Amino acid sequence: MSLVLSLLALIVRGAIAPPVVLHDTAGRIRQVPDQKIPILVIYEDQDGGKDNRAAKDFLGRVNSTADNRARCEAIAVADVEKYDWWPAKKYVLADIQKSEAQKKTTIYIDWKGAVRKAWGLGKGKNNLVLVAPDGKVLWSSTGTLTSAQLEELSGILRDLGLHVDGL
């Protein structure tokens, strides 16, 4: 396999996820991994958002209790690379801020597709990556989740001490 192909492959279990810097809609910065607790990153663009209602429901379950949030954080990251031009950028930002207010959550923005490129995530797909505090990938997927994948991820999260009922 060529080096280029290996760099484009989805980051897999056991690999070390390169650190990435995220920005929220207010411009605040955070790094993943953050060396505190595992983080479940749900990464998608507008097309991938149609791909996976189950992933968003799962995000809600992971973040549903303070006890869960103390053990693992689930975050949403929007790949908006194709809108990184004026005036589209201001409208996309306004739409994401509206969605944040409705859902009472933070959505991080990737204007350059940097996370997708660094982690080999699928473009136009819903991507989930569970990253340990040290950067080790505990689980990853791209595309619509199967029941088996949801069950596997649930088991890993339960092993981390989370309560993810209803799966």
166 lies in a domain?
A: no
Which residue is listed with tokens 């009922």?
165
| Phi and psi at residue 155, to the nearest 5° | -60, -45
Q: Is 24 helix (H, G, I), strand (E, B) or coil?
A: coil
Q: In the predicted model, what is the mean pLDDT of residues 8-23?
A: 87
Is pLDDT at 1 greater than 50 in this prediction? Answer: no
Are 61 and 167 in contact by the 8 Å Cβ rule? The answer is yes
DSSP 136: B
108 lies in a domain?
A: yes
* pLDDT tens, position by position, 69-82: 899 988 999 999 99
136 lies in a domain?
A: yes
Confidence (pLDDT) at 159: 94
> What average pLDDT does the chain have?
86
CA-nearest of 41, 33, 7 to 129 is: 41
Other CB atoms within a 10 A radius of the CB of residue 93 amount to 15
Is pLDDT at 56 greater than 90 in this prediction? Answer: no
Is pLDDT at 167 greater than 50 in this prediction? Answer: no
| Verdict on whether the full-model pTM lies above 0.85 | yes
Peptide bond between residue 87 and the one before it cis (omega within 30 degrees of 0): yes
The token pair that represents 46 in the structure block: 């507008």
106 lies in a domain?
A: yes
33 lies in a domain?
A: yes
37 lies in a domain?
A: yes
Q: In the predicted model, what is the mean pLDDT of residues 5-32?
A: 84
Confidence (pLDDT) at 48: 67
164 lies in a domain?
A: no
Q: Which of 7-21, 66-80, 137-151 shows the lowest per-residue confidence on average (mean pLDDT)? A: 7-21
In this prediction, residue 49 has a pLDDT band, given cuts at 50, 70 and 90, of low
User: What are the start-end ranges of the H helices in the chain?
Assistant: 3-8, 53-62, 66-71, 88-103, 114-119, 147-159
57 lies in a domain?
A: yes
Classify the C-alpha dihedral 79-128-41-56 as positive or negative.
positive
Residue 147: give its domain's CATH number: 3.40.30.10
* pLDDT tens, position by position, 87-109: 999 999 999 999 999 988 899 99
Pairing state of beta strands 107-110 and 73-79?
A: parallel
Domain count along the chain: 1
Query: Which residue range(s) make up the domain with 33?
Result: 3-159
CA distances from 49 to 4, 8, 16, 93, 137 (A): 27, 21, 26, 16, 22
